[in-house]
Amino acid sequence: MKKTNFTILVFTLMNFVLAMTAFVFGGILDKVAVSLNVSVANSGLLNTMYSYGAAFGVPITLIVFRKIERTMMLKMTLLITVLTTLALVLTHNFTQLLIIRLIMGVSANSYGILAISMVIALATAENQGRSLAFLIAGNSLALVIGVPLTRALSSVFDWRSIFWMLNVIMILSLAYFAKFLPAGDHESTKLDLKNELNFFKDGKTLLVIAYSLVMFVGYGAFFTYVTPYLLLFPSLEATMSIILVLLGLASFIGNWIGGHASDRLGYAKSLLIGAVAQTITMLLIFVFHSVAWLSVLFSILWLMSAWFTGLQLNTGIAQVTQNKSSFMISINMSAIQLGGAIGSSVAAAVITLGGMQNIVFVALLAGLGIILIQWVSNKKYPSTQPVAALEPNDLAA
């Protein structure tokens, strides 16, 4: 039992590390741009390429390598992540860095899906929910503690030093998994692709995926560049680490409130509420763009509403597929990553052509888009039945 608990702790630590590999550039994007001698817009492409890798790589990896036992697959994807992180810190060519980030997005997120499945398998039936919550806590800690701390230490350590530290933890975790992680029952994890693809014929499922894609276009556009956007106010430079902590707390609180709203109102109504909240807060960011403290306040509220909504997307895709399709959960996650990649790509173009302040319009249009999508969904597919319970095994990919 102690060994199992420690193994889950290692998975949680790895979840923190992988969240850091995904988010860390966002907190120090301006400093990364200086170190690479590129524009802030171009440095944001490091996040974009990671998201493209995650968007296309996870479902393709699950399909292509579906015959490989899942524990072995987990170790292989973690090893590739270690190697790509090593390449990242040793390479100084920006084009090569973009390619490496693309590969890292595939391997790291494929590992993440497999890790969820493994934690469920390791936990006892009565502890599965708490084990998953503990695993996800690693991701939250990256936003609340890791990214702000990186910003605070950026004057002492450059971004390559941060990745060296993360890679050491990944290597130690891989060594632990290689020695102590047992092989699982591969028969129970095989993918029946024909049955899974039938869900693409369901309109309600497609609307949830469309919502995910459009919402994260706006999220990727604004959140990728939120640090340099707020640094349009030079007075905020000294307090940026504190602001990043507040943004991290906003994600945690939004997620917590979203859970309660989903239980009381259902995911469909909560999605509409979240869409309206994101649109209003982004509109307020635009209206008060010349006031520093209001820009910070509304950015925090916007991120809180985004995380409030994100929880509904994961719940919604499970419920509209009647908790029978782990593959569609991975497709929804790919839509989220693809939306983020498209959003950050569009934002990079907008910044180059019109200036940093104009990224607000991308997020604002996305907000209006998801209001329309969910209004259509609620009208065409009104909820008439109680929300189905989500079994832990339905989260496995």
Q: Are 132 and 393 in contact (CB under 8 A)?
A: no
pLDDT in tens, 111-124: 987 887 787 677 66
Same fold, 1-191 and 194-381+393-397: yes
pLDDT in tens, 319-330: 777 656 567 777
Confidence at residue 390, expressed as pLDDT on a 0 to 100 scale: 38
Confidence at residue 170, expressed as pLDDT on a 0 to 100 scale: 96
How far apart are the C-alpha atoms of 142 and 203, rounded to whole Å? Answer: 35
Confidence at residue 256, expressed as pLDDT on a 0 to 100 scale: 78
The percentage of residues in the chain with a pLDDT greater than 70, rounded to a whole number, is: 86
Mean pLDDT of 187-193: 57
How far apart are the C-alpha atoms of 136 and 335, rounded to whole Å? Answer: 20
Say whether pLDDT at 391 is over 60: no
The percentage of residues in the chain with a pLDDT greater than 90, rounded to a whole number, is: 39
Mean pLDDT of 216-239: 92
Q: Are 220 and 105 in contact (CB under 8 A)?
A: no
pLDDT in tens, 90-113: 998 999 999 999 999 999 988 987
Q: Give the confidence band of 383 by pLDDT, cuts at 50, 70, 90.
A: low
Q: Which amino acid is at 383?
A: S
Asked whether the whole model's pTM tops 0.85, one would answer no
Confidence at residue 164, expressed as pLDDT on a 0 to 100 scale: 94
**Token output for 284:** 């307020």
Q: Looking at domain 194-381+393-397, what is its CATH homologous superfamily? A: MFS general substrate transporter like domains (1.20.1250.20)
Cβ neighbours for 234, distance < 8 A, ≥ 6 positions apart:
none
Which option is the CATH number for 1-191: 3.40.50.2300, 3.90.1150.10, 3.40.1190.20, 1.20.1250.20?
Answer: 1.20.1250.20
Q: How far is CA 280 from the centre of its chain?
A: 23
Q: Compute and round to an integer the Cα radius of gyration of the chain.
A: 20
Confidence at residue 185, expressed as pLDDT on a 0 to 100 scale: 53
Say whether pLDDT at 394 is over 70: no
- Ranked by mean pLDDT, the top range of 53-67, 177-191, 199-213 is 199-213
Residue-range domain boundaries for the chain: 1-191, 194-381+393-397
Confidence at residue 123, expressed as pLDDT on a 0 to 100 scale: 67
Q: Give the confidence band of 32 by pLDDT, cuts at 50, 70, 90.
A: confident
Q: Are 273 and 375 in contact (CB under 8 A)?
A: no
Least reliable range by pLDDT among 122-136, 244-258, 291-305: 122-136
